[in-house]
Structure 1
Amino acid sequence: MKNIAVIGYGVIGKRVADAINLQDDMNIVGVCDVINDWRMQNAVRKGYNIYAATTNAEKEMKNSGIAVKGSMQDLLKKVDLVVDCTPKNIAAKNVEIYKTKGIKFIVQGGEKHTTTGHSFSAEANYETALNLDATRVVSCNTTSILRTLGALKRAGLLDYARGTLLRRATDPWESHLGGIMNTMLPEKEIPCHQGPDAQSVDPDLNVITSAVKVPETLSHMHYWNVKLKRQTTKEEVLNAFRKSSRIKLIRYDQGLVSNNTIKEMFLDMGRPWGDMYEVALWEDMLKVQGDELFYAYVVDNQAIVIPETIDAIRALLGIEKDGSKSIFKTNQSLSIA
């Protein structure tokens, strides 16, 4: 059993903590943050040991009735690896602490590739992360790009890809704090950062992305136009996608006609928070015309990176050398069919 700490108990951190708790080859020693509201109180109810990131945070936690086990420094003395789920740019500062203490660490996709020198997506490059000191689990959108284009590449079908991303405005729980309404906000730069980010994992991908921020919070949606290496059939393309256990083919005639209906399905399936760890790709929308492929899918911005993070832990700690075995084990624990 390897001992793991989660630093930052927000949207991603709480999901990572719960996922670690389901594994039989790693142990969550504690969670650490500066918050003392309902989020940390829920962590207490779940039985997690609570650590404070700052002295002031420790005082406020104790004043709120939260039993604090110690400081972040105390937590770091007890662990083999840290999963840093703090907000963008905070992790980059924490990294210096982890390096000084010689602790392996994982950061999330909001940080730059240079923070770790390695970016991770389980199906694409698991083996390259084995026994490294650090990696970065790429963002939700980038993860979806690597899963879908990677499946086509492994099938020998992918020449190049051009995608448009409809990006959610903010996380659902923060809808009252920001986001946009009654407008759409195109990103000025083409390519937007997800294409180059995917190339940090797989430099051979010929991919260009553009993005528009839209006034909803449930998920992202992608539209892709792919140039294939040869003419093929729709069934061959679908078979390539089926070989990824983290792509879920869905259909309009199942009533899955929108991101809210997809979310409702995963809630009914009993997934915590209705989380969708898979890319939900419409098989009946998918079209092959000569050597061109067109398809669309939905990305759960709060959940898709959770299985990737568990696999990254195994890779960095050398718990499992075979990526496919780690993926299978993670999928079983999270009920990914």
Structure 2
Amino acid sequence: MKNIAVIGYGVIGKRVADAINVQDDMNLVGVCDVISDWRIQTAIKKGYSVFAATGQAMGQMKMSEIPVAGSMQNLLGQVDLVVDCTPKNIAAKNVEVYKKQGIKFILQGGEKHETTGHSFSAENNYKSAVNLDATRVVSCNTTSILRTLTALKRADLLDYARGTLLRRATDPWESHLGGIMNTMVPEKEIPSHQGPDAQSVDPDLDVITSAVKVPQTLSHMHYWNVKLKKEASKEEVLNAFKTSTRIKLIHYDQGLVSNNTIKEMFMDMGRPWGDMYEVALWEDMLKVVGDELFYAYVVDNQAIVIPETIDAIRALTGIDSDGNKSIAKTNKSLGINQ
């Protein structure tokens, strides 16, 4: 049983905390943040111990009558590993604190690969993360890229891949603060950052991505054109994708015609927040023409990295050195199945 802290109780942090809380081989000691509004009050209602990231935050929490368990330093003194889910660039500043105290840590995909020197995707490079001091769980889009391309690579089908990403404009809960309306914004650089990010996990991948920001907040959507190593049948490709327990094959002709209908299905399944931990890939849209493969899928930007983070905890702390066992355990605890 390893003691774990979550620093940053936002969109990802609250989901990571809940996921840790249902594991039987790790213990959530507490969550830490600077906020004192409804978000952290929800953590109290769930029975989580709340710690203040700064002295000022502690004062504000006490004024809001939040029972503060202590400071971030108090929390760090009780744990084996920290999952840092703070906003982009804040985690990089926290790293020096973790290193100074000799605490293992996991960062999220908003931080640079160089911050940890290792980037993580459970089905691709779990073994290389075992007993490391730090890793970075790659972003939602990069996670989906690695899951799908790694499945094709395992089947010795992958030559190279070219993908176009339709990116949600902002997180759903922040839609009132910004985002875009009545426009589409292409990323200037090709490749977009997701291709090189995937190569930080698997340098052998020949992958190029381009991205467009679109005016919706539910999810991302990907379109892929893959050059296969040989001519293959649709069945061969589908069998390759089925080797991943975190790719869910869906059907357009069953009414799953858009990201909102897919989200509704996962809500009906009883998932917390309607979270989709899997890549939802359209089976009946997938097409193979000779040695070319075309497919599309949807990515839940708020949920896909949660099981990856749980597996990263097991790898770094040495709870389990077998990636397949960890993935199966995480899948069972979160209700993930083929």
Alpha-carbon distance in 1 for matches of 2:120, 2:244:
16
- What is aligned with 2:73? 73
Alpha-carbon distance in 2 for matches of 1:192, 1:260:
25
- What is aligned with 1:281? 281
> Are positions 1:113 and 2:110 aligned together?
no
Matches within 5 A, 1:104-253: 104-253=104-253
Alpha-carbon distance in 2 for matches of 1:87, 1:253:
39
- What is aligned with 2:60? 60
How far the C-alpha of 1:65 sits from its partner, in A, is: 1.2
1:196 maps to amino acid: P
Matches within 5 A, 1:289-304: 289-304=289-304
Alpha-carbon distance in 1 for matches of 2:180, 2:61:
33
Per-residue Cα deviation, 1:275-302 (whole angstroms, up to 9, x for no partner): 0000000000000000000000000000
How far the C-alpha of 1:314 sits from its partner, in A, is: 0.1
1:141 maps to amino acid: N
1:117 maps to amino acid: G
Could you tell me the TM-score, scaled by structure 1's length? 1.00
Gaps of 5+ in 1: none
Alpha-carbon distance in 2 for matches of 1:61, 1:258:
41
How far the C-alpha of 1:253 sits from its partner, in A, is: 1.6
How far the C-alpha of 1:252 sits from its partner, in A, is: 1.0
Alpha-carbon distance in 2 for matches of 1:312, 1:214:
31
Alpha-carbon distance in 1 for matches of 2:211, 2:108:
20
Matches within 5 A, 1:317-328: 317-328=317-328
Alpha-carbon distance in 2 for matches of 1:177, 1:114:
31
Q: 3-state DSSP class of the match of 2:153?
A: helix
Q: 3-state DSSP class of the match of 1:262?
A: helix
2:17 maps to amino acid: A
Alpha-carbon distance in 2 for matches of 1:229, 1:70:
57
Alpha-carbon distance in 2 for matches of 1:299, 1:254:
19
How far the C-alpha of 1:213 sits from its partner, in A, is: 0.2
Alpha-carbon distance in 2 for matches of 1:135, 1:107:
6
- What is aligned with 1:313? 313
Alpha-carbon distance in 2 for matches of 1:248, 1:12:
21
- What is aligned with 2:7? 7
Q: 3-state DSSP class of the match of 1:69?
A: strand
Q: How many residues align?
A: 337
- What is aligned with 1:93? 93
**Fraction of identical pairs, as percent:** 84
2:184 maps to amino acid: M
1:119 maps to amino acid: S
Per-residue Cα deviation, 1:69-111 (whole angstroms, up to 9, x for no partner): 1000000000000000000000000000000000000000000
Could you tell me the TM-score, scaled by structure 2's length? 0.99
How far the C-alpha of 1:51 sits from its partner, in A, is: 0.1
RMSD (Å) for aligned C-alpha atoms:
0.3
> Are positions 1:43 and 2:43 aligned together?
yes
Alpha-carbon distance in 1 for matches of 2:253, 2:325:
34
2:320 maps to amino acid: E
Gaps of 5+ in 2: none
Alpha-carbon distance in 1 for matches of 2:262, 2:108:
25
| Runs of 4+ deviating beyond 3 Å | none
